């Protein structure tokens, strides 16, 4: 009997902010790789998840939502991550949502249609539809916008039609040996996941500019016999933001720390000691040197 050829490749998930890209990659991976909140611009980096089967390896890449008019240097860097995803993709997976199909990003529309790799367009949040006719009309519009793509209506939140995504991707993947070890599920470090977990809690509990002015850096990650000891610094841009983040008698930052610790204990399957510090790094979102130090560089 002929040996089944091995297939592997990079499947890069792109789309506008807040359409469900992070929810989708977490669902497909069966692991929480990307933080998920209702706020736009939650994802700042490219998040890589490695899906393995007997003869297949899929490297998923979750990207920040494309920002039409970047307001500061950080958003410019986030857009660069999106642009990079067009260069190393074996398959492009474009995610849009029901109701927004008439307002595509012209940049993404042009880049996708000029791409030489297979395109899979996912129409997300169809569980919000009024009736099947609304979904049919949306699919028709997407077929006109992306004539070379296959369109699949889904609900990433509720798992509708999501079981069809992996088989479709496998059918489109090129024959190739695996890029990573078969027991590896991400290219990112433990410290990255600590940073993102803390930042998720801040996004959930603070309003206005605070969540977007925050960057988290884990300075110490020490594994002991029965515990992981972690020290992380939360950077803000203003002294006033520092006070808001800490809260009266430290109550707010303590809540962030407790919720992050519980999630991290589940993620690492270990007891966690988490120590948080808050520091000011003035205008870091517009400082190229700070952005590179925080990992916002594709060089």
Summarised one tens digit per residue, pLDDT across range 174-212 is: 999 999 998 888 888 899 899 989 999 998 999 888 888
Q: Are strands 47-53 and 56-62 parallel, antiparallel or unpaired?
A: antiparallel
CA 32/CA 197 separation, integer angstroms: 10
Who has greater pLDDT, 126 or 39?
126
Sheet holding 56-62, edge to edge: 47-53, 56-62, 7-14, 91-97, 119-124, 150-153
Q: Which residues contact 33 (CB under 8 A, 6 or more apart)?
A: 25, 26, 47, 48, 49, 62, 186, 188
Average pLDDT (138-165) is 93
Give the chain's length: 299
pLDDT of residue 106: 84
In terms of C-beta density within 10 A (0-12 exposed, 13-18 middle, 19 or more buried), how is residue 54 classed?
exposed
pLDDT in tens, 71-95: 767 778 767 777 777 788 999 999 9
Phi-psi region of 30 (alpha: psi -120 to 50; beta: other; left: phi over 0): left
CA 117/CA 106 separation, integer angstroms: 19
Q: Supply angle C-alpha 207, 104, 49, rounded to 5.
A: 65
Work out the pLDDT band at 171, boundaries 50, 70, 90.
very high
Mean pLDDT score across all residues of the chain: 88
Average pLDDT (224-228) is 91
- The angle that helices 239-246 and 251-268 make with each other, rounded to 10 degrees, is 70
Sheet holding 228-236, edge to edge: 215-223, 228-236, 272-280
Under DSSP, the state recorded for 173 is P
Q: pTM of the full predicted structure?
A: 0.81
pLDDT of residue 131: 84
- Strand pairing partners for 119? 92
CA 118/CA 91 separation, integer angstroms: 5
Q: Are strands 119-124 and 150-153 parallel, antiparallel or unpaired?
A: parallel
Whether the CB-CB separation of 139 and 158 falls below 8 Å is answered with no
Dihedral in degrees, nearest 10, Cα atoms 133, 139, 142, 144: -80
- Strand pairing partners for 217? 233
% of the chain residues with pLDDT over 90? 56
């Amino acid at each position: 009997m002929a040996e089944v050829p091995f297939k592997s490749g990079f499947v890069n998930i792109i789309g506008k902010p807040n359409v469900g890209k992070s929810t989708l990659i977490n669902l497909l991976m069966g692991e929480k790789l990307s933080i998920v909140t209702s706020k736009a611009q939650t994802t700042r980096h490219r998040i890589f998840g490695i899906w393995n089967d007997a003869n297949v390896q899929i490297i998923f890449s979750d990207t920040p939502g494309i920002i039409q008019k970047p307001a500061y240097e950080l958003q410019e860097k986030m857009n660069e991550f999106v642009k990079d995803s067009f260069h190393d993709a074996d398959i492009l997976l474009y995610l849009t949502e029901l109701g927004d199909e008439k307002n595509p990003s012209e940049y993404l529309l042009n880049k996708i249609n000029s791409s030489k790799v297979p395109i899979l367009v996912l129409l997300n949040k169809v569980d919000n539809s009024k009736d099947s006719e609304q979904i049919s009309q949306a699919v028709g519009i997407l077929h006109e916008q992306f004539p070379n793509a296959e369109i699949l209506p889904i609900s990433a939140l509720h798992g509708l039609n999501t079981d069809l995504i992996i088989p479709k991707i496998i059918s489109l993947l090129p024959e190739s040996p695996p890029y990573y070890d078969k027991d590896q599920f991400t290219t990112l470090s433990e410290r990255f996941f600590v940073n993102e977990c803390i930042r998720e809690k801040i996004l959930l509990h603070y309003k206005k500019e605070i969540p977007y002015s925050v960057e988290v850096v884990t300075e110490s990650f020490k594994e002991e016999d029965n515990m992981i000891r972690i020290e992380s610094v939360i950077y803000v841009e203003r002294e006033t933001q520092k006070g808001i983040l800490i809260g009266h008698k430290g109550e707010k930052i303590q809540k962030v720390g407790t919720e992050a610790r519980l999630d991290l204990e589940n993620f690492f399957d270990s007891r966690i000691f988490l120590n948080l510090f808050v520091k000011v790094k003035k205008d870091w979102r517009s400082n190229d040197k700070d952005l590179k130090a925080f990992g916002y560089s594709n060089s």
